[in-house]
Structure 1
Amino acid sequence: MLCPVGRRAAASRRLLAFTRRLSSSSEPQSVRNIGISAHIDSGKTTLTERILYYTGRIGAIHEVRGKDGVGAKMDFMELEREKGITIQSAATHCAWGDHDINVIDTPGHVDFTIEAAALRPSEPCGRRQLPPAVERALRVLDGAILVLCGVAGVQSQSITVDRQMRHAPPPRLASPRLRRERYSVPRLAFINKLDREGSDPDAVIGQLRDKLRLNAVAMQIPIGVSGDHEGVVDLLERRALRFSGPGGEEVEEGEVPAGLQAAMEEKRAELLEKLADADEEIAEFYLAEEEPPLGVLRAAIRRQTIANAITPVFMGSAFKNKGVQPLLDGVVSYLPAPTEVTNCALDLDKDEEQVGLTGVSSDPFVGLAFKLEEGKFGQLTYMRIYQGKVGRGDTIQSMAADRRKVRIPRLVRMHANEMEDVESVGAGDIVAMFGVDCASGTTFTDGKTKLSMTSMFVPDPVSSLALVPSRTPSSEPRLTPPPNHAAQEDPTFRVHTDDESGQTIISGMGELHLEIYVERLKREYGVECSTGNPKVAFRETASTRSKFAYTHKKQSGGSGQFGRVEGYLEPISSDALGQGAYEFDNQLVGNMIPPEFVTAIDKAPLSAAGFREAMLKGTLTGSPVMGMRVVLQDGLAHAVDSNELAFRAAAQGAFKQAMATAKPVLLEPLMSTEVAVPAEFQGTAVALVSQRKGTVNSMEGAEFVTIDADVPLESMFGFSSDLRGVTQGKGEYTMEYKAHVPAPRDKTELMVKKWKEQQAGKSEE
């Protein structure tokens, strides 16, 4: 049932109605869990602000970079308001008509993409200790709104967030099994900024079909574009909707302007045709040349949206307060309830057999802790309830290895950074808990149900900085805990101490990612620190097969050490150096090396085994080694002097011996980079990419050109400032890790020389 968008409702009445609903748990059928995703600066936070206003959650509208200094509700961090971007996903809860909507506003910048979704499914968590699940927003949502700029259309990050909604990996990461599977989040598209000069919704719909391969169907056409944008025409009901009032809260229904009648009928016929291609019931009406009843038409759109067969497209201008209420109607009408989405878990009592979750509140409780926040009052744990109920004071059990039982002292619904206490919640709800210490991705149950949700892949960081505390007595001891807290919140943010330099090294997904965390250390934790030059994650590999036959022998009185290993190492892929990580192939025949010592050669309980430990430092520049296969063919053990330590040392010596003749190659990270600029700056942008040793793969677009290029990461530092400078602030870019590739000879020689000088300096000391 659609909410009557034509009725006037005062903000105070809307807020009062919502407050009455807050303390009660809704039935899953009336709940919608949605995420709002888009390319950076497409207006998703502005759209969320209007959604909160029209649903009565806030009493006034504030802009992302408003003159009043308040800022949008969902960008509550001071840094977000200063920079005008979303840094971390924020959740809220609102009501539209008889439906409750959980909304998560996700970042658009690729550096914070982990806040929106991970890239691909990984090994399921259960009895094994695995990296925490980091699906973040889209992992726990049932539907989404893809926001697109009416001028720029489908941009680089639009493609990334669409891929996240599909839960599909990039081709370079996908295994054959994953390429066959498709895990899609049903979505609506909202073409925003139709008030801007040059907006063209028809072109954007064409890009949705061509670039994203979505079966996009327009639900509306605009009443004017650019400066003439007044509202939209509803194609289903053939009515015009105009928006008035100080905040656009008054929706006026009227006749469709005569000049748009033909366009309306043409687009409506196109809608019916595309829907008939996907839905058998509508196909029967279409072939019989009959008009389907409105109720049948809406049911078919809902059916096929949930099935990901079509993507309904809505239009408007969030900044000008136009088109948001019909979009909310679309959310409750076409996006799925928790009971209409398939969610699976693993039965830990049945060898991790996959089972479906019902999404019903009366079934045993299963919830997933999908996001952590460290605040001044302790850890705040966000949890999605997949089935069952949970209340304040209840005891729940973690399905992690410790199987620890915890009591929930406080249960809250989040409204950006505000908390609203609730007594209990049911299936489909998204809430937060205080006082529950766990890792991101932990599954909780009632203790009787032994189910665990699946984990997700965490991309490795590609950029690092040395974190140096200010020379004050109070700053040094406080340096370590805050970065570790940040790493717990964001698994793509890593912290470690370099064994040689003693420096604290932070690693992340890009310059902006690290810059934001350093600024947060200063503001939120009072840690004054500076950073060193960016450190790029170079790697090494062997370019050819190399044999080893190494004997470790040590005698110093009493029991000695003896271990001999023979075999060879080679690149995993001869066609693409550096692909893969590490493989160990045990081809031993007989019992020349006892099985318990083979573990020390390959992997020990603490991963401090011979070959694995040796690969942490290559022979060229001391960088980690990747893309290697080690084949163990023979060896020898001594009845008295052989032990795990001896074979661990033998493996390390064998690695160094083989690498000396394996023609090692230095690898540098290559970034898949998309630069979007107005057409008049195309030549300048291409030249800028070329100056940074990038390779342009393709260019497309007319008024707004997208340049697809591969650029070494080391050349990309400072690129954003240069790009803004040469495009008058109109250019933007995104990049993500693509692969490690061989570095040019001159760069390799320079880095090898520096490494040798550093080692020589240390030996003199």
Structure 2
Amino acid sequence: MSADINLLRNIGIIAHIDAGKTTVTERMLYLSGAKHRVGRVDHGTTDTDDDPEEQERGITIFSACVKYRWDKYHINLLDTPGHVDFTAEVERCLRVLDGAVVVFSAREGVEAQSETVWRQADRYNVPRIVFINKMDREGADFDSVFNDIGPRLGGRPVAVELPVGQGPTHVNNPFRGVIDLVDLKFLQFDPETEGKEVRQTDIPDELMDDALLWREQLLETVCEIDEDAMALVMEDQEVPVDVIRKALRKGCIEQTIQPVLCGSALHGIGVQPLMTAVGHYLPSPLDRPPVEGFNPKKPDQQLIRKPDPTEPFSALVFKILPAKTGDNYWIRIYSGQLKQNSRVYCPNRDKKENVAQLWQIHASKKERDGQTETLAAGDICCVIGPRFAITGDTLCDTQNQIELPSITFADTVLSMAIEPENTGDRKKLDDTLDMLRRQDPTFRAVDNEELGQTIISGMGELHLEVIQHRLTRDFGLNVKFYKPRVNYRETIGGTADVIGVCNRQMGATQMFARLSVRVSPLEDSSATPIVFDRLPPDTLLQGDVRHAAIQELRDRAEGGGVLAGFPLSGIKLEAYDAEVSEEGGIEEVAFRIAAGDAFDKALEKAGPVLLEPIMKVEVTTPEDYMGELVGDLQQRRALIAATETRGAMTVITAHAPLKELFGYSSAVRSLSQGRAGSSMEPLGYQPAPKEDAHSFQF
């Protein structure tokens, strides 16, 4: 890895499914010389989709890291999934990246998952550039995609390239190259060398007017960012290329603009300029703010770490790949240096960890001959040796401790009961599920002792299907699988005041306690329950007994509701009065019992409500099939939120209960003769039909 952190780029490729992320990654590896043959997604020969499940389905499921050099730059590139079921892979990658390339299909444009990954990048303040891919596809429309980025994503796109032609070779004006608006040159890519040879010529006269119009828009943006450029324009002088690039870089890093390029990754058209743009416009670790954290021994003490090898060591674990020879911990080093055979501290677990080996990463494996002695600030690498840390944990210097913000993941929405075919497989199944939990932070597995089953939960049908295949094919387990069920939640319909009572004879002791509790709904029905201690300061209930009563309410709120034991959300509990016996003492057990009694009474009196998860569904279809698809959605209790025309296709946006969407992608293909496609993402929760309240148990 480069000793100059200025030349390091930690980037991710993010997009909607099938926009061409993995193809872009493969082409970058080939053009940089990191591999000698271009892999194909449809042939299952790509470097980053190296899992059998990915090769069979032709989609990315697991994030992968590759390294290459381009020009003077050293690139760590993370290829991420596009399917919403695996959005956690995008979440964890964006948490540790400095920049991103957002890929859009020139035909489909800004799609549902495009919006999701863009919002994720916003949340982590990740600067990004845009690549409009598949310009050689039927129905490609550069202008339409470009013009959608502002209103749909809240971005500010700035074109630095224009396509020459659009669509495949049989149309009147096929896609055959790009115009570089910075250098004002026409770039053509040799098909014989799969895009390795680029021919740069003057822009043809018939294209010059259009190019100058777009370049004028580019210069207007540059002048807003850079005063030197503004002064040159005011004096009617030519703005040098290096001034334009400097301004675009500044705007990109400050996230006020997103430079836009275009091409066809499948044929190598426009990928070399994209690789150059990564170096020109996306930030190095030095261009990003220092990472912030706190002293784990003094949580109120805020700390920062600069991306400097001389600072105390700090890093974040963002992925764990279990292995027989020792789990592979993928980390991003934010400050200091990490040496092989050293000791570090994990503040989240309050444990010291060994760093036995350091490796560079290629795809999902350790890079061949990639073991190294030392790595420094800015690097992304694999560590072997830790045993206690989990995804989102910090590793830091043992003497200069810091805890960095962790990674938050969405709640699971779908569950399934499983059990081993025979008792002999129980231990192996438990060990395997534990390993999968460490690898995938959105996967849950909880034993149901009453039924003798294990309930596994995930982000959707495809997520659970992949888990099934891994258990049976990869780990050779004989497991029974039951029908997937939706993960509901429970809340309340109103406000209630109740008094919880304990009046019991225990041995020779008469225990008495009363606790007054008010329960009310929160504005956000999906919010985590909160409990307040509103007991008067002069109450007889003090110390450990008071704490026990409040803690019992918190413990019960973190448990299940009264309908079917689903997680509670959107409720507020307030303990505001207590009464003790005049004769007996104040017993901690008595007030725990009274608090539990108050909790049950409060939920019943306030009116328990079942909440079902709602998905945002986006269907892209030819106009001919729109009526049948809308009718089918309405039968699934969907609310049609919007319809719009994008080129030759119609896009239907709907909000539908997850319960009604099992097998929906197959239904869409059937209703449209395979010509429509769909995607979905979690939207929120809403009250479920009353009849659903009686059919929860597995």
TM-score where L is the length of structure 2: 0.93
Q: 2:155·2:257 contact (CA, 8 Å) conserved in 1?
A: yes
Matching of residues 435-474 of structure 1 within 5 Å:
435-437=385-387, 438-469=389-420, 471-472=421-422, 474=424
Tell me the equivalent position of 1:78.
Answer: 52
Q: Matched residues in 1 for 2:106 and 2:626: separation?
A: 20
Aligned-pair distance for 1:599? 2.4
Q: 1:346·1:352 contact (CA, 8 Å) conserved in 2?
A: no
Tell me the equivalent position of 1:679.
Answer: 623
Aligned-pair distance for 1:390? 1.6
Secondary structure in structure 1 of the residue aligned to 2:417: strand
Tell me the equivalent position of 2:83.
Answer: 109
Match of 1:630 among 570, 573, 598: 573
| Residue 495 of structure 1 pairs with residue 495 of structure 2 | no
Matching of residues 120-269 of structure 1 within 5 Å:
136-167=92-123, 183-226=124-167, 227=169, 228-244=174-190, 245-269=192-216
Cα deviations by residue, 1:175-211 (Å, 9 ceiling, x for unpaired): xxxxxxxx52111100100111111112111111221
Q: Matched residues in 2 for 1:86 and 1:460: separation?
A: 21
Q: Matched residues in 1 for 2:438 and 2:272: separation?
A: 38
Matching of residues 542-557 of structure 1 within 5 Å:
542-557=492-507
Secondary structure in structure 2 of the residue aligned to 1:421: strand
- CA RMSD of superposed structures (Å): 2.2
Q: Matched residues in 2 for 1:658 and 1:347: separation?
A: 39
Q: 1:614·1:652 contact (CA, 8 Å) conserved in 2?
A: no
Cα deviations by residue, 1:609-668 (Å, 9 ceiling, x for unpaired): 246327734333443433222222322234756433322222222223333433332222
Corresponding letter in the other structure for 1:47:
V
Tell me the equivalent position of 2:678.
Answer: 733
Unaligned runs of 5+ in 1: 1-23, 118-135, 168-182, 604-608, 760-765
Aligned-pair distance for 1:560? 4.8
Aligned-pair distance for 1:382? 0.5
Corresponding letter in the other structure for 1:90:
A
Secondary structure in structure 2 of the residue aligned to 1:652: helix
Q: 1:465·1:507 contact (CA, 8 Å) conserved in 2?
A: yes
Cα deviations by residue, 1:469-505 (Å, 9 ceiling, x for unpaired): 2x24542221112122211222211111125323211
Q: Matched residues in 2 for 1:735 and 1:598: separation?
A: 46
Corresponding letter in the other structure for 2:221:
K
Tell me the equivalent position of 1:307.
Answer: 254
Corresponding letter in the other structure for 2:35:
I
Tell me the equivalent position of 2:11.
Answer: 34
Structure 1 pair 620–386 and aligned structure 2 pair: CA distance change class (3 A): closer
Secondary structure in structure 2 of the residue aligned to 1:378: coil
Q: Matched residues in 2 for 1:396 and 1:625: separation?
A: 38
Structure 1 pair 632–358 and aligned structure 2 pair: CA distance change class (3 A): closer
Aligned-pair distance for 1:462? 1.3
Tell me the equivalent position of 1:572.
Answer: 522
Structure 1 pair 571–238 and aligned structure 2 pair: CA distance change class (3 A): closer
Q: Matched residues in 2 for 1:723 and 1:144: separation?
A: 32
Aligned-pair distance for 1:440? 1.4
Corresponding letter in the other structure for 2:504:
K
Tell me the equivalent position of 2:42.
Answer: 65
Q: Matched residues in 2 for 1:225 and 1:518: separation?
A: 42
| Structure with larger RCO (C-alpha < 8 A, sep 6+) | 1
Q: 1:150·1:192 contact (CA, 8 Å) conserved in 2?
A: yes
Match of 1:413 among 357, 360, 365: 360
Tell me the equivalent position of 2:380.
Answer: 430
Secondary structure in structure 2 of the residue aligned to 1:480: helix
Secondary structure in structure 2 of the residue aligned to 1:286: helix
Unaligned runs of 5+ in 2: none
* Bigger mean CA offset, 40-49 vs 624-633: 624-633
Tell me the equivalent position of 2:641.
Answer: 697
Q: Matched residues in 1 for 2:382 and 2:290: separation?
A: 20
Corresponding letter in the other structure for 1:627:
G
Q: Matched residues in 1 for 2:509 and 2:245: separation?
A: 82
Corresponding letter in the other structure for 1:198:
G
Q: Matched residues in 2 for 1:739 and 1:480: separation?
A: 32
Cα deviations by residue, 1:157-178 (Å, 9 ceiling, x for unpaired): 11111111111xxxxxxxxxxx
| Residue 713 of structure 1 pairs with residue 661 of structure 2 | no
Structure 1 pair 98–446 and aligned structure 2 pair: CA distance change class (3 A): same
Secondary structure in structure 1 of the residue aligned to 2:438: helix
Q: Matched residues in 1 for 2:674 and 2:480: separation?
A: 28
Corresponding letter in the other structure for 2:227:
E
Corresponding letter in the other structure for 1:116:
V
Larger strand proportion, structure 1 or 2? Answer: 2
Q: 2:225·2:250 contact (CA, 8 Å) conserved in 1?
A: no
Q: 1:461·1:509 contact (CA, 8 Å) conserved in 2?
A: yes
Cα deviations by residue, 1:343-401 (Å, 9 ceiling, x for unpaired): 32224166444444321223222211111111233311011111222222222222324
Secondary structure in structure 1 of the residue aligned to 2:231: helix
Cα deviations by residue, 1:400-456 (Å, 9 ceiling, x for unpaired): 241x33332111111113322122212111000112121112222222322221123
Q: Matched residues in 2 for 1:580 and 1:389: separation?
A: 39
Q: 1:543·1:577 contact (CA, 8 Å) conserved in 2?
A: no
Aligned-pair distance for 1:63? 0.3
Q: 1:221·1:235 contact (CA, 8 Å) conserved in 2?
A: yes
Q: Matched residues in 2 for 1:452 and 1:248: separation?
A: 46
Secondary structure in structure 2 of the residue aligned to 1:91: strand
Secondary structure in structure 1 of the residue aligned to 2:41: coil
Q: 1:592·1:634 contact (CA, 8 Å) conserved in 2?
A: no
Q: Matched residues in 1 for 2:568 and 2:298: separation?
A: 39
| Residue 394 of structure 1 pairs with residue 345 of structure 2 | no
* Bigger mean CA offset, 137-146 vs 473-482: 473-482
Q: Matched residues in 2 for 1:739 and 1:40: separation?
A: 22
TM-score where L is the length of structure 1: 0.85
Q: 1:672·1:711 contact (CA, 8 Å) conserved in 2?
A: yes
Q: Matched residues in 2 for 1:458 and 1:642: separation?
A: 42
Corresponding letter in the other structure for 1:138:
L
Tell me the equivalent position of 1:175.
Answer: none
Aligned-pair distance for 1:705? 2.8
Cα deviations by residue, 1:294-330 (Å, 9 ceiling, x for unpaired): 1211111111111112111111101111111111110
Tell me the equivalent position of 1:172.
Answer: none
Tell me the equivalent position of 2:534.
Answer: 586
Match of 1:371 among 295, 310, 319: 319
Aligned-pair distance for 1:51? 0.6
Corresponding letter in the other structure for 2:656:
V
Q: Matched residues in 1 for 2:386 and 2:96: separation?
A: 19
